[in-house]
Amino acid sequence: MASITAETARCPLWTQGRRLAATFDYQVASDAPTIEDHDPEAPFNAYRTVTFHPVAADVVDYVYKFKNNVEHVVPAGADGTATVELLVNMAGGAPLSVYGRGADGTRSETGSALFNPRSSPTVTSEQYPIGGPVGAAAGTPGVFVVTSYVPGVVSYSYRIDGGPKATGFTDGNGVLVNNYTPATPGSHTIVIGFGTMADGTIVDGGQFTFIAG
């Protein structure tokens, strides 16, 4: 079932008694399985229903890896598809790879996907609207509220305007309040690093900007 993705063919041509070489490029379609995500908006730490669809003929099962190098085998149904439930709980996205196998053991090319659940927090400020209009004048104390999108986050690391990295702890609602006074007018950046849950699970942060007047 393996296919060639690209080949270059050369054939001799003759013109005025001279032999010339011509190059032709062609591509052969991949037979890697396609991956259908039924829950693209599922949040962090939720199960996603994923279906493998065959491109190669006579697929009897699929071999997939998810988040690590452990191989899992799932049989194909009568229509050649197979459906699995995958728990997506990795900061930075969870990688999936899969290939199909025929009854004789031949395998297709490998398909891949990266599952990026929504997990980054929101940041708001009355004095300095995030990503919005010009805020208060430089030198005005600002209050920045970091709200976790994922329940159970107990702390976030953060860095403001390239300053030292710090860690702040959230309250029972997953909220971290930080006070910062921008010294200069113009654009400023808040980088929220990974958030940490009580069991050590890591969730994504994000980068946020505001403008001081």
Are residues 65 and 108 both part of a single domain?
yes
Domain of 190? Answer: 122-212
pLDDT digits (tens, 9 = 90+) for 125-158: 999 999 989 999 999 999 999 999 999 999 999 9
CATH of the domain at 208: 2.60.40.10
Distance from CA of residue 60 to its chain's centroid? 29
Are residues 149 and 85 both part of a single domain?
no
Quick check: helix, strand or coil at residue 91?
A: coil
β-strand partners of 111: 98
- Position 26 confidence tier, pLDDT thresholds 50, 70, 90: low
Domain closes at, from 86, 115, 144: 115
pLDDT digits (tens, 9 = 90+) for 150-189: 999 999 999 999 999 999 999 999 999 999 999 999 999 9
Q: Is residue 126 part of a domain?
A: yes
Q: What is d(CA 49, CA 39) in angstroms, rounded to the nearest whole number?
A: 6
Cα dist from 75 to 33, 47, 99, 112, whole Å:
14, 20, 12, 18
Q: What is d(CA 148, CA 56) in angstroms, rounded to the nearest whole number?
A: 43
Q: Is residue 1 part of a domain?
A: no
Are residues 91 and 132 both part of a single domain?
no
What domain count does the chain have?
Answer: 2
Report which residue type is found at 140.
T
pLDDT digits (tens, 9 = 90+) for 40-70: 888 898 999 999 999 999 999 999 999 999 9
Domain closes at, from 92, 115, 138: 115
Say what percent of the chain tops pLDDT 90: 78
Are residues 71 and 136 both part of a single domain?
no
Whole-model pTM: value is 0.70
- Position 118 confidence tier, pLDDT thresholds 50, 70, 90: confident
